[in-house]
Amino acid sequence: MFSKVSNFIFFVTSILLFRSTTCVEFIYNSNFTTTNTLLLGNATVNSPPSILTLTNQTTFSIGRGLYPSRINASSSTSPLPFATSFIFSMAPFKSLSPGHGFAFVFLPFSETSAASSSQHLGLFNFTNNGDPNSRIFAVEFDVFPNQEFNDINGNHVGVDVNSLTSVASETAGFYGGRDGERFTELRLNSGENYQAWIEFNGSAINVTMARAGSRKPIRPLISIPLNLTGVLLDDMFVGFTASTGQLVQSHRILSWSFSNSNFSIGDALITSNLPSFKLSGDSVLKSKGFIAGVSSGVVLLVFVIGLLCFYVVRWRRQRLDGDVEDWETEYWPHRVQYKDVLEATKGFSEEKMIGYGGNSKVYRGVLEGKEVAVKRIMMSPRESVGATSEFLAEVSSLGRLRHKNIVGLKGWSKKGGESLILIYEYMENGSVDKRIFNCDEMLNWEERMRVVQILEQGRLVEDGGEREMSLLERVKSSYLLETGEGSRQQHPTFQDVWNSSSYSNSFQSYDSILHGR
């Protein structure tokens, strides 16, 4: 909390630091002239009333208005205190976009040759900004956010020492209320008249602002310790500088007071009957700045709507086709793109179909150069929600199974809520039951005993991830597929997917394929 006590201490410190030196004190109450003001660049004095106009409608211009004589700003050991107050107005032109700002300055020289326009505010250029030998102190009133200077926003006040990267900056405005805790933002280039107070006591600085005609706020906008030793010299120019770029606005100083001995000098400014430079509502609506702002807003709105539509469509596709499941990064098998499955089976061509049963069909295909069997399970919309979640749980479980008589799943896929797809190794000789009943090459009893042994070995399989044992149920000969080498495998139909139990804390089931060695 900034109190009256803080202001009193600041004031007393300033009085104690005053030294016997040449007193400089002046008050310009709308009586600027070409005699009492040094005008450089595009700066002019307009009358009546006699106010200082730093910039006009010229693009990429600089304007400076300085006290005509150098003043003593430092003793032999430290900078001297000073107090200044001024009333200013920044206003856009109704046909141009507004920018950039102005600054109260101490300069070792008056010329503008070492300064640039636009974001440099007529203070620095690209090479000397940040140079400690510049010996420039300024308080900027900036309406454009320059990232290169770490500006906090496009409506701020900053304290600058040899650089446009401020040592301290705040959003333009004032603190009010009983405790000085309620902040009110003031739009710098609204065209409204504002009064600013800048007070330096030799080791700290206060910067305060408010609407012209208001009492000075008790709490400053900026209050920081500040060492200007080596910056403020014995003889310095003091005044104002402003600039325009592609963005153009007027920068006007209506009144100005300065003293290096009287910290109440701001009370001498006349704040009534001042000219107003606020644009009318109609002018604002027709200004390029307003039109540009509205146009930018429309473009941004269209962009946001387009982006939203993109993500909605993407979300719907992901909802239909599925995102990568959490377990996919840890366990195989992995998901195969649906378009690759279509290509492998030639669009689930009938000529590729090698089996069917219930609501599923099995297709022969080639995926990544290898023959595969693709099992496509069709679902109705009513079945899809529950079946899909169970299907994904089964696929994750299958990826963890490890057994010499189980052929691992190659992959899986799904198409929205209409079909689920399992991809296995292709076994060219079909199921074993074809060699048990009514065929020319029936299995002998030794081979049949071998089938029974394979079935028994396959019923109890080990979960490779958690060392769990899973019991496969409803195992029968039609589930056994015969490889080209004469071994046997099992391939269940869809209705058998959830027919095994896990001997662990939870119950899971596995769609599995058994083979003989």
The sheet carrying 419-425 orders its strands as 334-335, 411-415, 419-425, 370-378, 360-367, 353-357
**C-alpha–C-alpha distance, residues 187 and 173, integer Å:** 8
Alpha helix segments (H runs only) across 167-321: 281-286, 288-321
CA atoms within 13 A on the CB side of 402: 9
Do residues 94 and 286 touch, judged by C-beta distance below 8 A? yes
* Sheet strands (E) in 426-499: 460-463, 469-472, 480-482, 488-490
| Distance, CA of 414 to CA of 427 (rounded, Å) | 23
Q: How far apart are CA 86 and CA 270, in angstroms?
A: 10
Q: How far is CA 56 from CA 101, 300, 499, in A?
A: 12, 31, 86
Q: Is 375 annotated as a binding residue?
A: yes
Q: For residue 510, give both structure tokens.
A: 């596995």
* Cα of 336 vs its chain's centroid, Å: 34
The whole-angstrom separation of Cα 211 and Cα 196 is 9
Tokens of 370: 């290898």
- The Cα 451–Cα 479 span in angstroms is 11
Annotated binding site: which residue ranges? Answer: 375
Annotated binding site for ATP: which residue ranges? Answer: 375
